């Protein structure tokens, strides 16, 4: 059964991942894919679970908004950069202390093992002055129907009480897969907005979706 699930997942994701590559690029090409979707998802209506390049925090004193994201093959990074362009928020990429493999098949197994072991992979750097932010845009790809376990590391590691979390995901078609509910239960003293969910290829041209989402959640007023 597990093998069958693994095969189905691999087939589902094959198009999108093959198209965007796995080299940590911040942009991706845009293949047509029936799996692609763009949607806003209500926090109260949640669904039923790197080779990263570069960067640390580009943070500055005084900003009230921070974009935090993890991206293995660049799709979520593309959306994060668009949010940054439209909001001027500070931005922090979650980079694993121990880089993930570049090999997609190996990563599939590794991600599954991390999930099964409830792992907390270490993050290379910390966010300076996390307490200064009122709004945290939190972005991640869906891995095996859940957040990558390194997102759990991040959520465990910072104090979110009183903050607003605005979640965004990219996926091969699963959408949030219940992860908004997970964030709400991990951070009960934060407000969680409606999320932005983009399919892998829609993530290559996210400007309109990001603009609509930002307008609907009102975080930049
Ligand atoms: C280990 C792994 C597991 C994945 N699991 C799912 C999944 O359960 N559902 C889904 O729709 N897409 C899944 N995907 C596809 C990614 O969510 C999708 O390609 C995403 O846009 C990648 O974002 P990134 O480029 O920011 O890493 C998976 C990809 C990987 C590498």
The reply to whether ligand 1 has any atom less than 6 angstroms from the CB of 173 is: yes
Q: 139 and 80 in contact (C-beta within 8 Å)?
A: yes
21 in any annotated domain: no
1 in any annotated domain: no
Overall pTM > 0.95:
no
204 in any annotated domain: yes
The reply to whether ligand 1 has any atom less than 6 angstroms from the CB of 144 is: yes
97 in any annotated domain: yes
Q: How many domains does the chain have?
A: 1
The reply to whether ligand 1 has any atom less than 6 angstroms from the CB of 170 is: yes
3 in any annotated domain: no
- Kindly give the distance from the C-alpha atom of residue 98 to the centroid of ligand 1, in angstroms, as a whole number: 19
For ligand 1, what atom is nearest to the CA of residue 78?
A: 26
28 in any annotated domain: no
Q: Give the model's pLDDT for residue 63.
A: 81
User: Rounded to an integer, what distance in angstroms lies between the CA atom of residue 151 and that of residue 160?
Assistant: 14
Q: Ligand 1, atom 18: nearest CA belongs to which residue? A: 171
12 in any annotated domain: no
- How does pLDDT run across 31-74, given as a tens digit for each residue? 222 233 455 554 443 333 333 333 444 555 668 999 999 999 99
For residue 8, pLDDT over 70 is answered with no
- CA gyration radius, the chain: 16
13 in any annotated domain: no
Domain extent, residue 46, equals: 36-217
The reply to whether ligand 1 has any atom less than 6 angstroms from the CB of 78 is: no
The reply to whether ligand 1 has any atom less than 6 angstroms from the CB of 111 is: yes
The reply to whether ligand 1 has any atom less than 6 angstroms from the CB of 169 is: no
CATH code at 207?
3.40.50.360
- How does pLDDT run across 190-221, given as a tens digit for each residue? 999 999 999 999 999 999 999 999 999 999 86
């Amino acid at each position: 059964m597990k093998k069958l699930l693994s095969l189905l997942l691999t087939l589902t994701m094959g198009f999108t991942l093959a198209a965007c590559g796995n080299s940590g690029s911040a942009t991706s090409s845009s293949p047509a894919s029936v799996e692609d979707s763009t949607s806003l998802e209500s926090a109260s209506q949640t669904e039923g679970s790197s080779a990263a390049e570069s960067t640390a925090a580009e943070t500055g004193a005084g900003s009230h908004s921070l974009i935090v994201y993890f991206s293995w093959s660049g799709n979520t990074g593309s959306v994060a950069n668009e949010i940054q362009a439209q909001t001027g928020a500070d931005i922090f990429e979650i980079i694993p202390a121990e880089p993930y493999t570049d090999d997609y098949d190996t990563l599939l197994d590794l991600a599954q093992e991390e999930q099964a072991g409830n792992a907390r992979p270490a993050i290379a750097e910390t966010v300076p002055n996390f307490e200064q932010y009122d709004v945290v845009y939190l972005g991640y790809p869906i891995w095996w129907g859940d957040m990558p376990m390194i997102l759990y590391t991040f959520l465990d590691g910072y104090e979110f009480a009183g903050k607003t979390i605005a979640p965004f995901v990219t996926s091969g078609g699963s959408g949030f897969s219940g992860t908004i509910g997970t964030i709400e239960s991990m951070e009960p003293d934060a407000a969680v907005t409606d999320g932005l969910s983009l399919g892998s290829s829609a993530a290559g041209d996210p400007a309109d979706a990001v603009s609509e989402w930002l307008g609907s959640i009102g975080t930049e007023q």
